[in-house]
Amino acid sequence: MEEYKEKEAYELSLGQKQRITIAGVLSLKPKYIVMDEPTAMLDPEGKEDIRKIVKNLKSMGYTIIYITNIIEEIFLSDRVVVLEKGEIAKELKTSEILDNIDFLKSKGITIPKEIEIIKHLEEKGINIPLSEIIN
């Protein structure tokens, strides 16, 4: 982030601003980090950078509370909490997604193609552990 220290905020891209915000939060040495739609409005490269940062923070032991409407980002999580009208409709481990596809669909959640394919293969007797595509 050193290259950004002399720049004005208006000179930075949204992705650069996101990364600087994360660096600022980390300087406070928090126990938990809440990220609300951190990849919204970022280009694909910026989204991937944020995903890498989240994975790295998780590997360092940070607890990340990650709020998103982008279902593909579910693979960043260990647990998923589905909210409906401000209430918890269901909480599940990411590894339990295959067993809860019907529930997720009933809540209007679009299932990532990777999960649809794995579920279809499972129905045909070909088992690919979800853990192989998560994280």
- What single DSSP character describes residue 28? T
Residues 35 and 22 reside in one and the same domain? yes
Percent of the chain exceeding pLDDT 70 equals 93
* Domain limit, last residue, from 53, 69, 85: 69
Residues 64 and 84 reside in one and the same domain? no
Residues 43 and 77 reside in one and the same domain? no
Question: Residue 5: its pLDDT value, please?
Answer: 67
- Rounded to two decimals, the pTM is 0.75
Which tens digits make up the pLDDT trace of 46-61?
899 999 999 999 999 9
Q: For residue 115, how many other CB atoms are within 10 A of its CB?
A: 20
Mean pLDDT of 84-110: 88
Contact residues for 16 (Cβ-Cβ < 8 A; gap 6+): 4
Q: What is the CATH number of the domain that holds 4?
A: 3.40.50.300
Residues 53 and 76 reside in one and the same domain? no
| Cα distances (angstroms) measured from residue 85 to each of 67, 88, 89 | 15, 8, 9
Segments forming the whole domain that contains residue 58: 1-69
Q: Mean of the per-residue pLDDT values for the chain?
A: 86
